[in-house]
Structure 1
């Protein structure tokens, strides 16, 4: 079937292990690797035939589940398989809520990793999340654009509009416009409330 599979993990040895699993399941696929969230997002946006992303939650540049949200925003039709050492009991459920199709701990054996990759490539649908208020908010966050997510994460990091503008290469007016759109989508009145919503979803928690 060919196509491209993106392996996003900051540990070269684990990227190599995942590449071996991919080679077994999809020998015709082209594998590209990324060691930071920024390089993963760039690769995801540029790969025309991207079929799957495997993602570590602890990627440099990621905060909590923000890596899933950002990559899902870049390529909403591409399945994301989280392979992480996250200890939180709810990590798998949260990962799916933000757009991942599956979650595996890094201590899973090679056969399980191969099975998960095979299922993700086959388009196995993720479980239907329970309909509660937090699910609605998660969907709102997942509906933000990549740039809006970057702005929101910078706000969580305590940066001012001027700093965000410099960091993202845009004007302060553009940052303010993005914040207005973010607050509208999250149904909040100010940046503090927007940060609280993101924080309540674990976007600022290290996993």
Structure 2
């Protein structure tokens, strides 16, 4: 039975290093690479036998944890293992909220990364919940963002990038009316009244991250 693993990172050398780790754990797997969030989203949508996503948070097109949210919304059944240099007080816990199965730093030993890949493929989380996790006022908002559909997330990310409805419609291949409908749904889910407020709320979810 065929299976594919997506490596999404904008650094070719680190993609190569992750490919070597995957080769040790799953030599039978086909490796798919992506250097941007758009390319990763396309790969997730078109790779039918995808069994694992290795994801860097800081990629072109991503803001905060938006990469996890978008790819998880596209394929919720496929585990996501974050391998990133991002730092934050509760980065791993927050990554879990958006759909990650595991969270590793890029400077982790190769054996640690290989072990995490093996656990993710087996369906085991390599990211035990922190006993010090404290309920945050932002948690309901994070859960709302995590509940957006793939298209709603793409529209929201385009708004964060400063694009107008016409530009968003062109890049996504839909009508402006469709973009407006998705943005209305986004604003309703985030409990805001305009796109500026929606952008501010969404951007606040990743401001604490340091790369």
- When the two structures are superposed, what TM-score results if normalisation uses the length of structure 1? 0.91
1:15-164 alignment, distance < 5 Å: 15-125=15-125, 127=128, 132-164=136-168
Aligned to 2:3: 3
The answer for unaligned runs of 5 or more in structure 1 is none
Matched position secondary structure for 2:52: strand
Moved beyond 3 Å, runs of 4+: 125-133, 203-207
Contact 1:82 1:100 in 2 (8 A): yes
1:158 Cα offset (Å): 2.3
Contact 1:198 1:204 in 2 (8 A): no
The answer for unaligned runs of 5 or more in structure 2 is none
Contact 2:88 2:208 in 1 (8 A): no
Match of 2:199 among 189, 195, 198: 195
Cα RMSD for the two superposed structures: 2.1
Contact 1:79 1:120 in 2 (8 A): yes
Contact 1:10 1:36 in 2 (8 A): yes
Q: 1:149 to 1:59 in 2, by over 3 A?
A: same
Matched position secondary structure for 1:15: helix
Aligned length, in residue pairs: 207
Q: What is the alpha-carbon distance in structure 1 between the residues aligned to residue 190 and residue 100 of structure 2?
A: 21
Q: What is the alpha-carbon distance in structure 2 between the residues aligned to residue 177 and residue 75 of structure 1?
A: 23
Q: What is the alpha-carbon distance in structure 2 between the residues aligned to residue 43 and residue 110 of structure 1?
A: 25
Q: 1:205 to 1:155 in 2, by over 3 A?
A: farther
Contact 2:70 2:153 in 1 (8 A): yes
Cα displacement string for residues 65-101 of structure 1 (whole angstroms, at most 9, x for unaligned residues): 1111111111111110010111333322222221111
- When the two structures are superposed, what TM-score results if normalisation uses the length of structure 2? 0.89
Q: What is the alpha-carbon distance in structure 1 between the residues aligned to residue 140 and residue 168 of structure 2?
A: 27
